[in-house]
Amino acid sequence: MLGYAARRLLGAIPTLFILLTLAFVMMRAAPGGPFDMDRELAPEVRANLEAKYHLDEPLIAQYGRYLWDVLHFDFGPSFQYRDVTVNQLIEAGFPVSAMLGAASLAFALIFGIPLGMAAALRQNRAIDYLAMTTAMLGISIPNFVLAPLMILVFAVYNDWLPAGGLGGWQGYVLPVVALGTAMMAYVARLVRASTIEVMRSNYVRTARAKGLSSMRVICVHALPASLTPVVSFLGPAAAGIITGSVVIETIFGIPGLGQFFVIGALNRDYTLVMGVVLFYGVLIVVFNLLVDLLYGWLDPRVAY
């Protein structure tokens, strides 16, 4: 298994290289540059700035310079946030996004799995309909609608929770719910579908026939199998959620990584965008690998 993991990680290097090259080419192909601003710069000043950031060199030289720096784990200075480096921005933003993402993921699993199980075990009864309607609402209400609504109710009309910022644990509640609700709903639906299928399978029938308590049948025999689709959904979802959500970060004023990507792209902050792209790339590779390893643990039929 270690050998497998090592092979996968080595195989990721060319992928990341291609990713970086594509990102470089696409950023530079976009019209406009970091120094096009609402207050147009005088030509001399623009020339001075471009020289300072080596933007006056041929593209290939800039690319070489960038690759060399990246190999030394130096993502360069941010064009937009000039007092800090891209490394500092990622170091500051990632823990926040990761914390928020992990909490949302936990929220989604803690509420989504029991909800789905309950719905499956009481199929076509009130609780099933209630759970699935809730899930439907969770999926179909976009978080940019849910978040402001929650802010209105919990922060503006009442004093229960802050409207934004990450002052204490209270600050996490609304963003976590806003970010986790859709995923919780999705998890509930996945679990319901797979549980219904698993409960009809022969080995569950066997377990029942052997006279095991229904609690034991569900928890020991059915649950692991019904979680497999959740796990395969989890890999990409976790990478996505942990690297930050622009919408939620913007609405709640959270200093995560997600905003940098979008604001950076809009401002043509070349180094910031490429730094974040590379960081995302590495995370996705790692998460996909973790999921594949988890499969082997959950399902004995999978071997490496």
Token pair in block for residue 21: 């090259």
Q: Please report whether residue 57 would count as binding another protein according to CB under 8 A.
A: no
Report yes or no: 185 and 136 within 8 Å, Cβ to Cβ. Answer: yes
Which residues, 258 to 297, sit near another protein by CB under 8 A? 259-260, 263, 266-268
The helix (run of H) or strand (run of E) holding residue 157 is none
87 interacts with another protein by CB under 8 A: no
Closer CB to another protein, residue 151 or residue 222? Answer: 151
Q: Does 29 bind another protein (CB under 8 A)?
A: no
- Note whether 81 binds another protein by CB under 8 A: yes
77: β partners? 85
- Count CB atoms within 10 A of the CB of residue 90: 19
- Spatial CB neighbours of 273, under 8 Å, sequence gap ≥ 6: 23, 27, 261, 264, 265
Region of 6-14, 32-40, 175-183, 189-197 interacting with another protein (CB under 8 A) = 32-40
Q: How far is the CB of 75 from another protein (least distance, A)?
A: 15
Question: Which residue type is seen at 55?
Answer: L
Q: Does 250 bind another protein (CB under 8 A)?
A: yes
- Contact range with another protein by CB under 8 A, out of 65-73, 191-199, 246-254, 294-302: 246-254
Q: How far is the CB of 188 from another protein (least distance, A)?
A: 14
Among 186, 252, 279, 287, binds another protein (CB under 8 A): 252
Candidate residues 23, 76, 93, 182; the one interacting with another protein per rule CB under 8 A: 93
Q: Rule CB under 8 A: is residue 43 a binding residue for another protein?
A: yes
Sign of the alpha-carbon dihedral angle for 206, 207, 209, 210: positive
Q: What is the Cα–Cα distance from 181 to 137, expressed in whole angstroms?
A: 9
In angstroms, the CA 211 to CA 209 distance is 5
Residues 205-224 that bind another protein (CB under 8 A): none
User: Is 133 an interacting residue with respect to another protein (CB under 8 A)?
Assistant: yes
Q: Where are the alpha helices (DSSP H) in the chain?
A: 2-29, 43-52, 59-71, 86-121, 126-140, 143-151, 170-199, 202-209, 214-216, 223-242, 246-252, 258-266, 270-298
Instruction: Answer yes or no whether residue 163 interacts with another protein by CB under 8 A.
Output: yes
Q: Is 153 in the site for another protein (CB under 8 A)?
A: yes
Q: Which residues bind another protein (CB under 8 A)?
A: 30-33, 36-45, 48-49, 51-52, 77, 80-84, 89, 92-93, 124-126, 129-130, 132-134, 137, 148, 151-159, 162-166, 249-256, 259-260, 263, 266-268
